Amino acid sequence: MKKKDLLTVIVPCYNEEAVLPETIKELSQVMINLIESSQINTQSKLLFVDDGSKDKTWNLIQEYSKSNNLVTGIKFSRNYGHQNALLAGMTTAVQYSDMIITIDADLQDDINAIYEMVAKYYEGIDVIYGVRNNRKTDTVFKRRTALAFYGLMSKLGVDIIPNSADYRLMSKRATEGLLSFKERNLFLRGMVPLVGYPSAKVYYARKERFAGESKYPLKKMIKFALDGITSFSTVPIKLITNLGLVIVFIGICLFIYAIVRKIEGQVTVGWTSLMASMWLIGGIQLICLSVIGEYIGKIFTEVKQRPRFMIEEDIYSDKFKC
Ligand code: UDP
Ligand code: MG
């Protein structure tokens, strides 16, 4: 593989005026080091995506872009959310870049891991996940909920790398693969493993937010988690089927019990038929619902129009090309 590939670092920003000057300074230094040691192309850039900020974020990006050749930006017309900001950055950068790194604006993720990511990229690895090796800087609540969330996701059969956020390097072909996923409800950290290709992890310690406040309040976090579960799994629908089966089983047992009681002549009039029908009908209704649910689940996976395969190597076409 030829060296000096073009790197674009994508930084989503929502009301980040407090951290931007420092972020630009530190990230620029990393880029300069990489350019000077001939590890990346001199055209490599920092791409700041302003996600409809209400403060001076965009003015800052514009000003810095005049004095600092590394700084570029795109601006959203309104707030579309973190995941869409990342996607827009990738869509814009992929045409010119050989590798793309996404990182939050608040410097919580250790930017020194970028050197290791780039080195691994040159070893031929397509996706390099930044994984935090501690969560000491998170609140106990965030740590517990994150742990429970990753546990639940893996039980639901969704393959995500625990403790990896949206800090990662992706090669051009992996980014193009990711962009061919046409779904609207984005949960990038679940989608990236689906792209496949060789991958590796780089560990780092997560720091406190450098300045400003978290842009992910509890409400946004819950929505994000629910999006993750419902965009990736139809297991909740299957749970309804199982519940329906259990209730029908209970219904049958109660039916037999009620008949026995009736034969013994120890019941009030009407009790037997009420008992038996209530549970049976309840169970049958649940099963019917889940059958409909199964079809909705199928429609749900169809409308996403995810690519059905991604070819890593193709000797057939290569032979025609030479
Ligand atoms: N962000 C964004 N749009 C939003 C919310 C957040 O672009 O609607 C960006 C934010 O500027 C930051 C990153 O997403 O660069 C992660 O947000 P934050 O650090 O506030 O999340 P936390 O680390 O608290 O989970
Ligand atoms: Mg943060």
CA 150 to chain centre: 12
Q: Where are the domains of the chain?
A: 7-218+314-321, 235-304
Compute, in angstroms, the gap from residue 262 CA to the centroid of ligand 2.
66
Q: In the CATH scheme, what is the code of domain 7-218+314-321? A: 3.90.550.10
From the CA of 93, how far away is ligand 1's center (Å)?
20
Ligand 1 neighbourhood includes 216 CB (under 6 angstroms):
yes
Measured between alpha carbons, how far is 168 from 164 in angstroms, rounded to an integer? 8
51 CB less than 6 Å from ligand 1?
yes
The ligand with the least distance to the CA atom of 74 is 1
From ligand 2's centre to the CA of 272, what distance in Å?
61
Nearest CA to ligand 1 atom 17: 215
For the CA of 215, the nearest atom of ligand 1: 20
Residue whose CA is at the smallest distance from ligand 1 atom 25 = 216
Q: Along the 322 residues of the chain, how does pLDDT read in single tens digits?
A: 456 899 999 999 999 999 999 999 999 999 999 999 989 999 999 999 999 899 999 999 989 988 998 999 998 888 888 998 999 999 999 999 999 999 999 888 999 999 999 999 999 999 999 998 876 777 788 778 888 888 888 887 778 887 888 999 999 999 999 998 888 778 888 889 989 899 999 999 887 777 777 777 778 888 888 877 877 777 777 788 888 888 888 888 888 888 888 888 777 777 777 877 887 888 888 888 888 887 887 787 778 777 765 655 656 566 667 6
Q: CA 246 → CA 240, 276, 284, distances in Å?
A: 10, 15, 10
User: Cα dihedral sign for 55, 10, 86, 148?
Assistant: negative
Could you tell me if the CB of 14 is within 6 A of ligand 1?
yes
